[in-house]
Each structure stands twice: as structure tokens, then as C-alpha cells.
């Protein structure tokens, strides 16, 4: 394995770790808080209803936006760190 290959492999596994972490949050807010865990969280109220309803109709969408921008920002830094950015 050359130095170049090792660098590339490290970059790819950093990307995979970032994706897995982001997708855990992605699944937690929608499938978790919004659907499966809703009955467990019914004690927490938001604006006249429970927090599960809020996540299903609003919270998950807001989280998705934050996730994509976080991912884009982190990947740009990784591109630079590993010398793989386009310029």
C-alpha cells in the first residue's frame, strides 16, 4: 500500500464514520421520536400536543436540514485535510 492509498483509505473511512453518525441522528428523529418512541415521550408537551407529534410534523425536517449542512461542512474540511479537495 502506498502513502497515497493509505491517505485515500483513511479519508474514505472518515467519510463512512460521518455518514453512519449522521444517519443515526436521521433515523432517531424521524423513525425514533416521530414514530416508534412517540408513546414513551408523550409526557413531554409542546404547544398543546406531545413532542412526538412535533418531531413528526416539524422537528425531523429541521433536523434534516442541519444534518446536511453539517455533513457538507465536515466533508469540505476532510477534503482539505486529506488534500483531496478539487482546487
Partner 1 sequence: MSQFAINLIFVGGSFALYIAIAIWARAGSTKEFYVAGGGVHPVMNGMATAADWMSAASFISMAGLIAAGGYANSTYLMGWTGGYVLLAMLLAPYLRKFGKFTVPEFIGDRFYSKNARFVAVACLIIASVTYVIGQMTGAGVAFSRFLEVESSTGLIIAGVIVFLYAVMGGMKGITYTQVAQYVVLIIAYTIPAVFISLQLTGNFLPPLGLFSDHIESGVPLLQKLDMVVRDLGFVDYTADVSNKLNMVLFTLSLMIGTAGLPHVIIRFFTVPKVSDARWSAGWALVFIALLYLTAPAVASMARLNLLTTIYPAGPTADAIEYAERPDWIKNWELTGLIKFEDKNNDGRIQLYNDSAAFKATADERGWNGNELTVNNDILVLANPEIANLPGWVVGLIAAGGLAAALSTAAGLLLAISSAISHDLIKGSINPDISEKGELLAARISMAVAIVVATWLGMNPPGFAAQVVALAFGIAAASIFPALMMGIFSKRVNNKGAIAGMLAGLLSTVIYIFLFLGWFFIPGTATLANTPDNWLFGISPLSFGAVGAMINFIVAFIVSSATEPPPARIQELVESVRYPKGAGSATGH
Q: Contact residues for partner 1 (CB under 8 A)? A: 8, 11-12, 15, 19, 22-23, 26, 30-31, 34-36, 38-39, 46-50, 52-54, 56-58, 60-62, 64-65, 67-69, 71-72, 75-76, 79, 83-86
Radius of gyration of the chain (CA): 18
- The rounded distance, in Å, linking the Cα atoms of 21 and 42 is 26
C-alpha cell at position 72: 457538507
Q: Which is nearer to partner 1, 43 or 47 (CB)?
A: 47
Q: Nearest 5°: phi and psi at 47? A: 45, 45
Minimum CB separation of residue 11 from partner 1 in Å reads 7
- The rounded distance, in Å, linking the Cα atoms of 35 and 23 is 16
- Which residues share a beta bridge with 45? 50
Minimum CB separation of residue 86 from partner 1 in Å reads 5
Minimum CB separation of residue 34 from partner 1 in Å reads 6
Amino acid at each position: 500500500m502506498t502513502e497515497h492509498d493509505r491517505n485515500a483509505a483513511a479519508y474514505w473511512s472518515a467519510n463512512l464514520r460521518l455518514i453512519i453518525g449522521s444517519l443515526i441522528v436521521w433515523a432517531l428523529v424521524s423513525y425514533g421520536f416521530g414514530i416508534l418512541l412517540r408513546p414513551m415521550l408523550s409526557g413531554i408537551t409542546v404547544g398543546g400536543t406531545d413532542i412526538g407529534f412535533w418531531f413528526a410534523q416539524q422537528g425531523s425536517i429541521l433536523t434534516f436540514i442541519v444534518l446536511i449542512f453539517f455533513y457538507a461542512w465536515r466533508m469540505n474540511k476532510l477534503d482539505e485535510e486529506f488534500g483531496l479537495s478539487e482546487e
